[in-house]
Amino acid sequence: MTPVLNQTIRPELLRGRGALSNHVGRYEKQARVLVDDGWDDGWRAEDETPPPLRTEVIRDASRSIIARNKSPDISFDQSINPYRGCEHGCVYCFARPSHAWLGLSPGIDFESRILAKPDAAELLVKELSAPGYVPRVIAMGTNTDPYQPLEKKMRITRSILEVLRDFHHPVAIVTKSPLILRDADILSEMAAMGLAKAALSITTLDRSLARAMEPRAGTPARRLQAIQGLSDAGVPAGVMFAPAIPALNDHEMEAVLSAAKDAGARTAGYVLLRMPLEIKELFREWLEVRQPGKAKHVMALIRQMRGGKDYDAQWNTRMKGTGPYAEMMARRFHMAVKKLGLNQQLRPLAINSFRRPPRLGDQLSLL
């Protein structure tokens, strides 16, 4: 990858983007500063609109597609990410630091330089067909969104779902995009066999706040419509109130859960804002520019919930935080879930129907 500059980008170029800068990642040995000397201002004389910051798609050369983890505080140990980076541009996204591994910035690069995995379906067939493979639920959308805008054209996520359906393999999806309804045919078929469920991540019902925090994600109203559409198609649907940000969106928790329930959600969850590594500076920078009147209060409450730090990565507390405010948030969530009748009679996805479909060249079963 080409090293990036430690740069602050002109505000007029950032329409539709979440991060406000493009600082180098933690692994880079040099941090250079991009200085604007005015020599590239010629376009302004003829055009009132600056050239757009275009998204660059890079082919990912990964040789495997299933990622595995041993984290004790999450409900899955297998996941698939069709894309690295996410064009939704959610400023708070805890996956941003992963771009530093690629020599790219967790800032603007994360949302404008996307690595796509067009061979994902072929790789998945190979891994699921391995003699020693043991089926367990595969999670999608736990790092970057499988239904980000590029998916509409590239259809990588759909190709993965086609493979999982053919293998009768369970999948759980989290997304912010109503594009998931495009694949309702596959998900409905899988759900009928107990093999699929999905949740929409909804952080706010305030469209202006959503646009500022998640500039290229589906609007809150369309995400609720997606829950309704999945439910109508027979796909168990849920809602994730994630991240919950104190003094910014946490007051909407009950309203979001209620709206999702009305749309057909059966399950709900929440996660406190996580700010590992470079996220701390990116989010603080965004707060000071986009929410200047709340910035200090938000950060003070976050530190109260993180043992006096901006972030604490300890297992089992990193998702919910600690302290009085965190305890109050947890009580509010559980009271709302109980009142709305969510998270009742939950059934695990089926893993005992897994099969390896016959492939071209296999011996005919009748012979």
Chunked in runs of 10, what are the mean pLDDT values of the chain (367 residues)?
49 74 73 50 49 87 92 89 96 94 92 96 97 96 95 98 98 98 98 98 97 96 98 98 98 98 98 94 96 97 96 92 97 98 93 87 50
H helices within the chain, ranges in order? 108-112, 120-128, 151-154, 156-166, 184-192, 207-213, 220-232, 253-263, 279-290, 295-305, 324-340
Q: What's the pLDDT at 30? A: 58
Q: What's the pLDDT at 360? A: 57
Report the alpha-carbon angle 133-147-60, nearest 5. 60
**161, 200 in Cβ contact below 8 A?**
no
**DSSP secondary structure letter of residue 348:** P
The backbone torsions φ and ψ at residue 32, rounded to the nearest 5 degrees and listed phi first, read -100, 155
**233, 227 in Cβ contact below 8 A?**
no
Residue 229: CB atoms within 10 A of its CB come to 18
Q: Counting Cβ atoms within 10 Å, is residue 244 exposed (0-12), middle (13-18) or buried (19+)?
A: buried
The dihedral over CA atoms of 326, 334, 337, 245, expressed in degrees to the nearest 10, equals 0
Q: Which domains does the chain have, with CATH numbers?
A: 7-35+53-340 (3.20.20.70)
Angle, to 10 degrees, between the axis of helix 253-263 and the axis of helix 220-232?
A: 40
Closest of 56, 141, 51 to residue 105, by C-alpha = 56
In whole angstroms, what is the distance from residue 141 CA to residue 3 CA? 27
Q: Which two tokens stand for residue 105?
A: 């910035």
Report the alpha-carbon angle 155-52-23, nearest 5. 90
Report the alpha-carbon angle 61-65-68, nearest 5. 125
In whole angstroms, what is the distance from residue 254 CA to residue 335 CA? 9
Q: Which amino acid is at 72?
A: P
- Secondary structure class of 8 (helix, strand, coil): strand
pTM of the model: 0.89
Q: The dihedral of CA 352, 356, 357, 358: what is its sign?
A: negative
Q: Are strands 196-201 and 237-244 parallel, antiparallel or unpaired?
A: parallel
